[in-house]
Structure 1
């Protein structure tokens, strides 16, 4: 079957458009690599179209470069490159929240590999230059093999570079997206109608309850971000709290917020690697969203480092994104690795529990907050939509598109149980078996 007579089996879905004699249209190219009917309308710069004509949601391939992005990096990376650069447009959805089109595409698009003869005919018709990868957009991180120049994976230098790529975008940008809580981790919703601020405060209260925080205790919060847990613990529980983060921009913002709120006598945030945190015996350690950045091979060192900072009977609350099972690869997809979290890694919840046990923690409680993270991401997307113009002015339209794409896509992954969010509570139980932990949990969920 030739690319020009391949039927889709549905009126209004067959590729159409002018095309040039002997040259395939963009719609014909896409028809050759997509199984069945595309679930949305696709229009192209050459005037050709594919898919249902009455669908309000559509994809528009605006340039030849956009087509080259899609063909040279099939899957999420090619689509992200074309979208971030403006060569691919999504109509019918806001760029701050493309959730609906991502849901439709995930449900309805399956790629196929054309037979060799058909593929060669396409390549000749398009011109071989279309199969040469264009330079990636400026927001894209280097491929992993080139990051080796910045040091061994998860070395201090390379971790610092990865954190800078994601978190040192603009504090003002994050304020617009995250809202007043300035918290970039999963919230806890007592009701789906809760505001983000209510849900983030509830999350901090849940962490504080699991750690049994009381006035006068000492808390270490590793990967503290903009100091949300540190400030909440000091303000609401009278705890002396120290936060550490690899992001200089976060540390500066957090310390300024501490001073504004009059919490300087109790709270402090330092620009510091968690491995360099004071070797003191804290009453509690919280790690909220750090584990994803340290690398699965480093779990033993990571958990031993946190255990060594705890007094006997002290508690660790580890809060992190996980895989839905232990058969999935630790590395994220290409889009997330290049545009969102370079060098990020996830493991299944069982791996977290096992590594905590092996590092000397007694695991006392585990909880999955997967559905809560989907609600959190939906809230961040609403903020991005509401503040779109200001976000674009602050960080650029390309980066704003990246954040909308990744947050909407992550929401979909949490909803469909492709990734999860687990809190695991452990104690540094003493040699006599005294953990300080009660017969039943001593917090209110």
Structure 2
């Protein structure tokens, strides 16, 4: 039996994609603009070892399975069709695959692609969310190379959810941002402009307004990335800002950009674990995209620590990816995201985060869900990667570029379908009973 016949038996004859295989067989819609091609028997080995998303990921990342066309469109169609139909691989299907591929090849285990972080590799670095293990997890994802990130993120070098004015207009301008980024790459990433860059500026300004930044204040930005919030606060609001990151490459890049912008007297980024930042009298703290790496067991101590670093009347703005409900089972640590993208990453519902902030002593003053904005942000990043694909592959290799292509397209789908959300939660460390907040904030 040929692979295309097995494909039809598993997903049905009306799949809205083309399917082709190394044995010359084909199935699905011959006119579809997306196609799945099984290039070698190794792809079948991966699927046999893990007949789920992990097996498909391994086959695609290693290049033994190809996907032609737009990745987001392909994932959306497969999700709509396959999962709606309740796809299952029966014993009969397995037997047919064995006869087609050959028993020896079928049972021969194939090592995962090198981009996959194995549990054994992490276990050797200590307990989950120990300093050493967190440093390795951050290194895996954020130290891919600053040149690669410039291609994907654009001139703002901001790897967190942007804030758009009008969703429809933002979608129409996805190509504009990608073109601007492509031009910027040849100029050291110094070119500015484009819808994505405007939206990232708007995000930093929203955070600044929620924090009520004023000239002379001291801001601590934990998990600061390439220093975007640090530089924005210093440049636009006259704040003295310190950012900390576990990524050495991010810290080095940020230091150079801070010097280029003439902000060295008021802005600094250090290569440091947030737990090693000494208690001090900070007026404001921003945490943009760090809580996902803290871990559920550490949330209470995390917010306790931040509370201790603020002056009375100080504010914390926590911005992070969340789950749509608080009673869901813990995330699958063996799934695609944990294996390939964010090792040891954990997401919580917004109420769990808010509870930890409350218990640490923060009075919650505002909460906002930016779920749709993150879907739009990821569309821009995906467009940037596609437009700069050849250069990205040259920088990080095809396997890593494939991980990013799959990861970002899948996340667009996740935010659109409310699998994940993005919350900003504003808390105040009361000065006695005074929150030092306006009666009706304008943000």
TM-score (norm 2): 0.90
Alpha-carbon distance between aligned partners in 2 of 1:31 and 1:406, rounded to the nearest angstrom: 27
Alignment of 1:145-224 (within 5 A): 145-192=120-167, 193=169, 195-224=195-224
Alpha-carbon distance between aligned partners in 2 of 1:134 and 1:167, rounded to the nearest angstrom: 27
2:27 equivalent to 1:27: no
Equivalent residue for 2:73, pick from 100, 103, 120: 100
Q: Report the equivalent of 2:416.
A: 415
Alpha-carbon distance between aligned partners in 1 of 2:219 and 2:89, rounded to the nearest angstrom: 58
Q: 1:248: Cα distance to partner?
A: 0.4
Q: Report the equivalent of 2:112.
A: 136
2:99 equivalent to 1:109: no
Contact 2:8 2:28 in 1 (8 A): no
Q: 1:351: Cα distance to partner?
A: 0.7
Q: 1:438: Cα distance to partner?
A: 2.0
Gaps of 5+ in 1: 1-23
Moved more, 29-38 or 383-392: 29-38
Q: Which is helix-richer, 1 or 2?
A: 2
Decide whether aligned partners of structure 1 residues 155 and 240 sit closer, same or farther in structure 2, where only a CA change above 3 A counts.
same
Contact 2:13 2:28 in 1 (8 A): no
Decide whether aligned partners of structure 1 residues 374 and 117 sit closer, same or farther in structure 2, where only a CA change above 3 A counts.
closer
Q: 1:331: Cα distance to partner?
A: 2.2
Decide whether aligned partners of structure 1 residues 360 and 287 sit closer, same or farther in structure 2, where only a CA change above 3 A counts.
same
2:61 equivalent to 1:84: yes
2:405 equivalent to 1:404: yes
Contact 1:38 1:51 in 2 (8 A): yes
Alignment of 1:240-251 (within 5 A): 240-251=240-251
Contact 2:47 2:55 in 1 (8 A): yes
Alpha-carbon distance between aligned partners in 2 of 1:300 and 1:378, rounded to the nearest angstrom: 34
Q: 1:136: Cα distance to partner?
A: 1.1
Decide whether aligned partners of structure 1 residues 356 and 35 sit closer, same or farther in structure 2, where only a CA change above 3 A counts.
farther
Contact 1:369 1:421 in 2 (8 A): yes
Aligned residues: 414
Q: 1:117: Cα distance to partner?
A: 5.5
Contact 1:215 1:237 in 2 (8 A): yes
Alpha-carbon distance between aligned partners in 2 of 1:386 and 1:126, rounded to the nearest angstrom: 37
Alignment of 1:297-312 (within 5 A): 297-312=297-312
2:37 equivalent to 1:60: yes
Decide whether aligned partners of structure 1 residues 241 and 58 sit closer, same or farther in structure 2, where only a CA change above 3 A counts.
same
Alignment of 1:334-349 (within 5 A): 334-349=335-350
Alpha-carbon distance between aligned partners in 1 of 2:51 and 2:312, rounded to the nearest angstrom: 52
Decide whether aligned partners of structure 1 residues 53 and 377 sit closer, same or farther in structure 2, where only a CA change above 3 A counts.
same
SS at match of 1:150: coil
Q: 1:393: Cα distance to partner?
A: 1.1
Decide whether aligned partners of structure 1 residues 67 and 235 sit closer, same or farther in structure 2, where only a CA change above 3 A counts.
same
Q: 1:41: Cα distance to partner?
A: 1.6
Alpha-carbon distance between aligned partners in 1 of 2:57 and 2:157, rounded to the nearest angstrom: 27
TM-score (norm 1): 0.89
2:389 equivalent to 1:388: yes
SS at match of 1:389: helix
Alpha-carbon distance between aligned partners in 2 of 1:206 and 1:408, rounded to the nearest angstrom: 26
SS at match of 2:311: strand
Contact 1:72 1:132 in 2 (8 A): no
Deviations 1:157-184 (A, max 9, x none): 0000000000000000001110110000
Contact 2:2 2:100 in 1 (8 A): no
Deviations 1:64-123 (A, max 9, x none): 001211222122211111111111111233xxxx11111111101135445546644644
Gaps of 5+ in 2: 171-194
Contact 2:3 2:100 in 1 (8 A): no
Q: 1:131: Cα distance to partner?
A: 3.7
Alpha-carbon distance between aligned partners in 2 of 1:388 and 1:345, rounded to the nearest angstrom: 29
Contact 1:141 1:338 in 2 (8 A): yes
Q: Report the equivalent of 1:38.
A: 15
Alpha-carbon distance between aligned partners in 1 of 2:16 and 2:51, rounded to the nearest angstrom: 18
SS at match of 1:317: strand
